[in-house]
Structure 1
Amino acid sequence: MSSLPSPGDDFEHMFDIAPVSLWLEDFSALKVLLDGWRAEGVEDIEAFVRADPRRMAQYGASLKVLRVNQRTLELFAAPDEATLLASLGQVFRGDMLDQAVHELRQLWSGALEFSNQTVNYTLDGRRLDVHIRARILPGHEGLWDRVLVSLEDNTPQITNHERLRRSEQYARGLFEHSPVSLWVEDFSTVKRLLDDVRAQGIRDFKTFLKVHPEFVTRCMQEIRVIDVNQLTLQMFGAASKAELLNQIGKVFRGEMHESFTEQLLDLWDGKLFQQREVVNYSLSGEAVNIHMQFSILEEHRHDWSMVLLSLVDITARKKAEAYLEYLGKHDVLTQLRNRAFYVEELNRLSRKGPWPVAVIVIDMNGLKAINDESGHAAGDAMLRRVGEVLAKAVDAPACAARIGGDEFSVLMPVTDERGAQAAIDRIVSLLDLNNQFYPGKPLSLSIGMAIAVSGEQIEAAVNRADQAMYAEKARYYDQLGVERRRG
Structure 2
Amino acid sequence: IWEQDFSAIKKHLEALKAGGVSDFRAYFAEHPEELLFCQHLTRILDVNQTAVRMYEAKDKQELIRATMQDTSQGELENGVEEMIAIATGRTSHSWEGGDETMTGRPIEIRLNWSVVPGYEDDYSRVLLTTVDITERKWAEEAVKISEERYRQTLESMMEGCQIIGFDWRYIYINDAAARQGRNTREALLNRTMMEAYPGIETTEMFATLRDCMENRVTRQIENRFTFPDGSSGWFELAIQPAPEGIFILSFDITERKRAEEALQESEKRYRLLFEDSPVALWEEDFSLVKDYLDSLKARGVIDLYEYFDLHPEALKECAAKVVILDVNKAALGMYGAGSKQELIEATLRNLTRDGLSHIVGEFAAVAEGHSLYQWEGSDETLTGEPIEVSMDWSVVPGHEQDYSRVIVTTIDITERKRSEREIQQRTGELLLINTLNDAANRGEDIETITEIFARETRNMFDCQDVAVYLLSPDGAHLEMQSSTISNSLVEQIEKFIGVTIPRIRIPVREDSYTRTLLNTPQGVISSNPAEIAAWMGEFTETTFLPNALRSAIKKILPQVLKILKINAVITIPLVSSGRTIGLLDMSTRGEFTVDDLQRVRILSHQMTAVILRKQAEASVKVHLQRITALNEIDRAITSSFDMRLSLEVLLKEVTSQLDVDAAAVLLLNPVNQSLEFVAGKGFRSAAIRQSNLRLGEGLAGRAGLERRVVHVANLHDTGVNFSRVRLLKEEEFIEYFGIPLIAKGVLKGVLEIFNRHALIPDPDWLKYLETLGGQAAIAVDNAQMFQDMQRSNQEMTIAYDATIEGWSRAMDLRDEETEGHTRRVTELSLRLAEKMGVSDQERVQMRRGALLHDIGKLGVPDNILLKPGKLTDEEWVIMRQHPTHAYEMLLPIKYLRPALDIPYAHHEKWDGTGYPRGLKGEQIPLAARIFAIVDVWDALRSDRPYRKGWEPERIREHILEQSGKHFDPQVVRAFMELMQEDPGLG
TM-score bucket of the superposed structures, by smaller chain: 0.3 to 0.5
Structure with the bigger RCO (C-alpha within 8 Å, sep 6+) is: 1
User: TM-score normalised to the size of structure 1?
Assistant: 0.41
Specify the structure having the higher radius of gyration (Cα).
2
User: TM-score normalised to the size of structure 2?
Assistant: 0.22
